[in-house]
Structure 1
């Protein structure tokens, strides 16, 4: 190993490289390339252009999805309204020919008169099977009221209450057994 050189000798051994002056716009003409200032302005303009293009693309994509969502929502609303009112729709074609009479689902007034009735006994009893409450109107039974018993299941109700029920549905309001009217 070589002994260390004195401080003054080191400066003489390695001459310093000449420092280059900074590049300016006037140096562009001499060397043929732009200086840092000219290059920075062009890069800024290019960067702003790229940013504007990216933002325009992002806004266009957002508007495209918003428009597609609006169209899809409109289709769903129209379909929901069409399916919700499909039975009673005002857009259905009416049937041809004379109108058919309404279908009668319950018992006729003549059939209702053939069903047996009875006067409710004086004290309402609950323990021996006699009804103490009408299952149609949920009112308590009173002595002397007219009640009607169903022939098949023997459930009993106020005559007026069960007659309205049987005019719409020919089944017992409690157990849904079909009410059979006997011919007298």
Structure 2
């Protein structure tokens, strides 16, 4: 505190009065100003880091979208999903399996059936055989087809659909050799 002013002198405010009170007020104001500056710098740094991560995330998302579009529009893709839009041109289907003429050349046979007197023996013999494609038990008189290379046998209708897509045995994946007719 400042000493009391003489009776005839005018009163001088504390801010203008020389002494330690004035310097303390300037130091306190400087500390507040410095504190505000540090807070502003920290907020600006946090905002810059947020903007940087947002920009990196947007760039990564853009790359992923472009890569997905490139894979989706890849013409020769093995896993291409057909378009449901009738106006869009669709490429001709890829033919990976056997032709119907080649499938027709494969050996087929009627599954043997037991005589009426055999009873339990024919039932147990036919139930021990099942088609590996549809998993149904063989019944007497059904049309079956045997693979020439491995001799695995299946219902003709089941294996014909399989061979139209894949020219290999459904069980062992052996290549199906088409028998050539002798002239």
* Pairwise same-fold verdict (TM > 0.5): yes
Q: Is the radius of gyration larger for structure 1 or structure 2?
A: 1
1:100 Cα deviation (Å)? 7.6
Gaps of 5+ in 2: 6-11, 75-89, 114-121
Determine if the alignment matches structure 1 residue 34 to structure 2 residue 14. Answer: no
**Deviation, structure 1 residue 47:** 1.2
Q: What is the TM-score of this pair, normalised by structure 2? A: 0.70
Q: Contact 1:131/1:156 (CA < 8 Å) preserved in 2?
A: no
Note the C-alpha offset of 1:75: 1.0
The change in CA–CA distance for 1:142 and 1:101 in structure 2 (over 3 A counts) is: same
Alignment of 1:6-85 (within 5 A): 23-24=1-2, 34-35=19-20, 37-85=21-69
- Does residue 114 (structure 1) correspond to residue 92 (structure 2)? The answer is no
Instruction: Say whether 1:171 aligns with 2:168.
Output: yes
Structure 2 CA distance for partners of 1:25 and 1:88, relative to 1, 3 Å? farther
TM-score, normalized by length of structure 1?
Answer: 0.70
Q: Distance in 1 between matches of 2:73 and 2:3?
A: 81
Cα gap change, 1:26/1:79 in structure 2, threshold over 3 Å: closer, same or farther? Answer: farther
Aligned-residue CA RMSD (Å): 2.9
The number of residue pairs the alignment matches comes to 148
Determine the structure 1 residue equivalent to 2:70.
86
Aligned partners of 1:117, 1:24: CA distance in 2, in Å?
A: 121
Q: Deviations over 1:134-155 (max 9, x none)?
A: 1112222222211111000011
User: Could you list the runs of 5+ residues in structure 1 that have no partner in the other structure?
Assistant: 1-22, 91-98
Distance 2:109 2:3 in 1: 120
Name 1:147's counterpart in structure 2. 144
